[in-house]
Structure 1
């Protein structure tokens, strides 16, 4: 068996079935005898029931969250093998988990694999397709773990060592779900940079629900009953004061890392609720095409690039678009501006007091020779064009999988319904493989829309995907 060189994972996805079921406990250690839990709950708008039956190592918790995600992405990165098995050395697996090469970490990794292969999950509410019919599945995350240690001169085998070669086989239910439309881009790098396993577990849960729940995406926050949140984190002590002691340090890290904007508690005792308000976007996350277009429009006011990008990151695209349209209309309708247009526009954009309203009509403008008129529309188009070029340069150096992760949402909105599910899967596979460049494809689609030529573009793309 040969093991590929895998210094770091390029694939960065998560399976919504696994993530929404919240299978891994936030606890860092278990008490003797804690081997199972059971929970009925509503998540992402549907009812779920999950039963977890662990083994003598306890139920999955702590670092098992990292292991589940890394093995899922390793399966995708190695081409979704037909036998559902991934190959690596123990040392490579440690590196993908972001851990150092130490005997303690090999032991932690061994115990994690043992829990994931020995724990039985029964889940009602499993979806094979978005909007599909929910069903019940029973599985172990890992079906089998095989170790190949080379020549053995005695029977006292070590559980793991740096050179141990591993063949890890995922359960057929898990492997099938990882090839379904229920897989979505996930910021694995950010998660693994968080210092504690508890922070990584809560981040995965909140990020999943923010993605899955349309109301959360629109409002920018999630709210839970405190005790229900404790259950979702698979805590065993559900006293409100104990739950708060567990999650308060996590909140500090997720706020400091700018994933969360703030966290507030309300109510008392068992009736307490916790609200998570999200930052629309972290400073290290690439801007989307829509955001870059908004940056270009803001810069036409004379506002600096740094200011424009900071403003776009701070607010939702809907909010930014609304304020930009208001500023454009007011500036177009204003004949005399006492201060600089940039300062005036910035005050309109950042106004939280309702000082500005949309003008009812634009004033008549005297005829001016066309050569002397600076067209706001043309300026915006030029900024958008430069924004697209900036986006291409920004993402052109990324691996194909990451380019796909950045552009997948915009491409899905524009193309998936017209292409159909089969051709969409082919498109995804070819973009991830690098046969097609996701950024270039999105640019060409936008140009086709602007030129009222989308149908011809779709016909050509269908022919290429079928060839």
Structure 2
């Protein structure tokens, strides 16, 4: 299969029934006892799920989500073969699972495939018998793979645990009939391939998959929001710690990333302890791009949140050019701009009239002395406020600074930095080599002064 074929599909077909059970834990690490056998019972949207899992090589977790989704994608791309067999290679699986082409990836692929091969589970469904107080339970044993045939690379005489999956030789994965039939059936949900590629952390990808499965009703309709109890959601996510504060901490980074990427518009948390409830609100196609809303508000043009959302929704292609246009007019002196919000709305409604599709010309600043002094005072006051905020944040540890500023930095840089550059930025900030607080302040200032491109260029040089 060509690289083009692997990358052509915009969606990944995922089994809704198995995804809802949360067999793959969103946690990256599990203890030996937690990973070999587990019992789950939870209720979501009025439906109760009961399952016992058995995994002598460890419960699938974290990045294993990428691997099972890769197998599902290959099975669909190959036309759902009647013999339930996916014929591929380590390299092709890594490509469709959005994993880098390096030695560590092929070690992870082999470990993940073997974990899914050795993972079985019992699904239970209860039936009440008329006239009797007892309940009859129907139990069914299920699994993912019947057999895996693969080549591996390793040193002469090395054991199975030390080798890695061959990059280029044939890999065959035989799906169980139940797993294959589930993928062939109409009871599936589609995952956005581009969104999956942009989600950086494995727990966030696992949470996205689980949310997508439970968000879709049996008739295929998508819910605008999903409300779950924290206790039930902990079971569905495969989080072992029962303390509410620990569960929320485990979920928080995934929440932030899915909000920053626009899949979620908000995560509402109400209640305390075991009575905590979460409400996930999903962004629909008609919702505005949160990054554009953020830029409109940060431009300080006098827009309310509601107006910023309306402009981002109705004029998305021209928002950034419109902000540059108004900022240029404000800096040009003369009579100035008495109503920047109104000017922006006019420019966005008639972009051709205001030449928003053309690069804004360089403007020679001609500022009168009184106005120059007023601008200088404003800049000094703003600088004092910025310095105060930076000093407050810089008393925190590098890790705390990163957690505090991460979502805002994500919104600022998501269109400028590649995935690898973002990871390098995170590493440098957490190590203290860069100050996340100072970086956010400088980036905001650069955006306001229309110097974002040069700022990003300088930052990339450091990365």
TM-score bucket of the superposed structures, by smaller chain? 0.5 to 0.7
- In the other structure, the counterpart of 2:201 is 196
1:24, 1:61 within 8 Å by CA — same for their partners in 2?
A: yes
1:298-327 deviations in whole A, cap 9, x for unaligned? xxxxxxxx97882599xxxxxxxxxxxxxx
TM-score w.r.t. structure 1 length?
Answer: 0.55
Determine if the alignment matches structure 1 residue 253 to structure 2 residue 254: no
**How many residue pairs end up in the alignment?**
285
1:229–1:139 CA distance, 2 compared to 1 (3 A) = same
1:82–1:193 CA distance, 2 compared to 1 (3 A) = same
TM-score w.r.t. structure 2 length?
Answer: 0.55
1:66-114 deviations in whole A, cap 9, x for unaligned? 2112111211111111211111111111111111122211111111101
- In the other structure, the counterpart of 1:8 is 7
- In the other structure, the counterpart of 1:359 is none
2:148, 2:171 within 8 Å by CA — same for their partners in 1?
A: yes
- In the other structure, the counterpart of 1:228 is 232
- SS, match of residue 24 in structure 2: coil
Determine if the alignment matches structure 1 residue 272 to structure 2 residue 273: no
2:189, 2:216 within 8 Å by CA — same for their partners in 1?
A: no
Determine if the alignment matches structure 1 residue 165 to structure 2 residue 164: no
2:41, 2:235 within 8 Å by CA — same for their partners in 1?
A: no
- SS, match of residue 111 in structure 1: helix
- SS, match of residue 32 in structure 2: coil
- SS, match of residue 186 in structure 1: strand
- SS, match of residue 212 in structure 1: coil
Determine if the alignment matches structure 1 residue 144 to structure 2 residue 169: no
1:198-236 deviations in whole A, cap 9, x for unaligned? 101111111222222789945x22122112211111111
Distance 1:263 1:21 in 2: 21
- In the other structure, the counterpart of 1:52 is 53
Q: Equivalences for 1:375-414 in 2 at 5 Å?
A: none
- In the other structure, the counterpart of 1:97 is 97
1:312–1:25 CA distance, 2 compared to 1 (3 A) = farther
Determine if the alignment matches structure 1 residue 210 to structure 2 residue 215: yes
- Deviation of 1:164 (Å): 3.0
- Deviation of 1:4 (Å): 5.8
- Deviation of 1:253 (Å): 0.6
- In the other structure, the counterpart of 1:352 is none
1:316-366 deviations in whole A, cap 9, x for unaligned? xxxxxxxxxxxxxxxxxxxxxxxxxx99xx9xxxxxxxxxxxxxxxxxxxx
Please, which moves more after superposition, 226-235 or 205-214? 205-214
- In the other structure, the counterpart of 2:427 is none
Match of 2:179 among 174, 182, 196: 174
Distance 1:198 1:9 in 2: 25
- Deviation of 1:169 (Å): 0.8
Distance 1:40 1:277 in 2: 24
Distance 1:264 1:121 in 2: 32
Determine if the alignment matches structure 1 residue 24 to structure 2 residue 24: yes
- In the other structure, the counterpart of 1:405 is none
- SS, match of residue 27 in structure 1: coil
Distance 1:260 1:29 in 2: 25
Distance 2:190 2:63 in 1: 21
- Deviation of 1:42 (Å): 2.6
1:255-309 deviations in whole A, cap 9, x for unaligned? 111111111211122211122122223768xxxxxxxxxxxxxxxxxxxxx9788
Distance 1:13 1:229 in 2: 23
1:21-41 deviations in whole A, cap 9, x for unaligned? 221101101113321211122
2:145, 2:176 within 8 Å by CA — same for their partners in 1?
A: yes
Distance 1:213 1:80 in 2: 22
Q: Give the aligned CA root-mean-square deviation in angstroms.
A: 3.4
1:165-218 deviations in whole A, cap 9, x for unaligned? 201111111011111121233213312320001101111111222222789945
Unaligned runs of 5+ in 2: 127-136, 290-308, 317-344, 350-463
2:189, 2:213 within 8 Å by CA — same for their partners in 1?
A: no
1:192, 1:200 within 8 Å by CA — same for their partners in 2?
A: no
- In the other structure, the counterpart of 1:351 is none
Distance 1:182 1:135 in 2: 21
Q: Equivalences for 1:294-305 in 2 at 5 Å?
A: none
- In the other structure, the counterpart of 1:70 is 70
2:264, 2:280 within 8 Å by CA — same for their partners in 1?
A: yes
Distance 2:155 2:203 in 1: 41
2:19, 2:213 within 8 Å by CA — same for their partners in 1?
A: yes
Unaligned runs of 5+ in 1: 127-133, 285-305, 314-341, 347-467
